[in-house]
Every structure is written in C-alpha cells, then in structure tokens.
Amino acid sequence: MKIITISREFGSGGRELGRSLADMLHMDYYDREIISAIVEKTKFDEKYVENILKNGTMQSVPITFGRTFSYSPVNDNVTKILVSQHQIIKEIGAKGRDCVIVGRSADVLLEEYNPVNIFVYADMASKIKRCRERAADIDKFSDRELEKKIKQIDSNRAKSRELVANSKWGRKESYHLCINTTGLNINDITPVIAEYARFMFGRTV
C-alpha cells in the first residue's frame, strides 16, 4: 500500500498539493471526508467539529495521551473528537488502499505503513497572499490579523500532533521532504513531487 501524508503550514498550498497529487497518482484523497466521518461517529455538529480541529483546542497541561506527556485537550468533547479522528485515520490505513491524507497527524498515526511524509511551507507574505486568493470574506482582516490567525492555526496543528508523536511538527527531521512553495504555482510543481513520490515508493524501506 502506498500512502502520502501532507503536513503543511496554513496558507502554503499543502491541501491543494495533496489533492492534485492524488489526482495525478490515481490515489484516494482524504481531507474533509474525515470531518464527515467524525460527525457520523460523534453526532456533533459539523461546524463545531471543524472549528475544534482548526482553532486552538489545547492547553499546555502535561498529561499522558498516546505515547507521550503532552498537551491536554480542553474538554471532553475535544477529546472525543480527537479520539474519533485517530480511529478514522487508523481505519483508512486498515483499508489498504493507496491514498493521500492531508494533515491530521496521519504521518504519525499511519507510521506502520511507511508513508511518504511531505511538509509544505512558505514565507508569511506568500501564505497571506494565498489565503486572500482562496478565501471569501477575508478582506475584513488586516495582514497582521491574518498572520496572527495563521500562526495560531499552525500552533494548534503542532500541539495536536504532539498528542501522538515525540517528533516535532514542522521540523524537517520529522519528514522525508520539505518543500517551500513561496512564489510557486501548486499545479505546476505537482508533477515533480509526484515523481519524487514514485521514486520513494520504488525504494526498499
């Protein structure tokens, strides 16, 4: 089974890269599907789940969760959503189908399947530009406000990952390849990354 995981800074085009890689390599693609699955499992409202997963849900109280002392989800609902998400990721792995998964600590949770783990990043100006191009209703935010929001979302991603991993979110050592998308068109770079992924699947692990 071939799995590509894409971890990414908010606004770096990582999601877009994940989708176009999946298209090009004819692999299943998971992103929002996971939220729907969480909704089905937990019966929480979709917006609520989405908000919990996106916007700071952790506080830095050391507890044991997964394999390490780490951050504590702020309440039971958050714990329920995260546990459910972990189960869903594990189930995706168990299906045995080739796939691309964006975010959600899939690089850690699916470790046993030797995924190819890619990290996508960009400089702040480029991320702000990308956010403005992609999202509706964003004009009301200043660049400064967007920067703060981007950092907050990334910090939450880092903390969510630390619930299950000892290695650090966003540190190159945690990934096979890190690509800076500053100034790049994601569709244009996709064939190159697809070539890299093909190479990695061809190697003996």
Compute the least distance from the CB of residue 17 to a copy of itself, in Å.
14
Pairing state between β 68-73 and 58-65 = antiparallel
**What angle in degrees, to the nearest 10, is found between the helix axes of 32-42 and 76-95?**
120
Among the residue ranges 22-30, 69-77, 118-126, 158-166, the one whose residues contact a copy of itself (CB under 8 A): 118-126
Binding mask 144-183 for a copy of itself (x = CB under 8 A): --------------------------x-xx-xxxxxx--x
Query: What's CA 113's distance to the chain center, in Å?
Result: 17
- The verdict on 188 binding a copy of itself (CB under 8 A) reads yes
Compute the least distance from the CB of residue 176 to a copy of itself, in Å.
5
On whether the CB atoms of residues 201 and 116 are closer than 8 A, the answer is yes
* Cα distance between residue 128 and residue 144, in whole Å: 9
Strand partners, 58: 73
Binding site for a copy of itself (CB under 8 A): 119, 121, 123, 170, 172-173, 175-180, 183-184, 188-189, 192, 195-196, 199, 203, 205
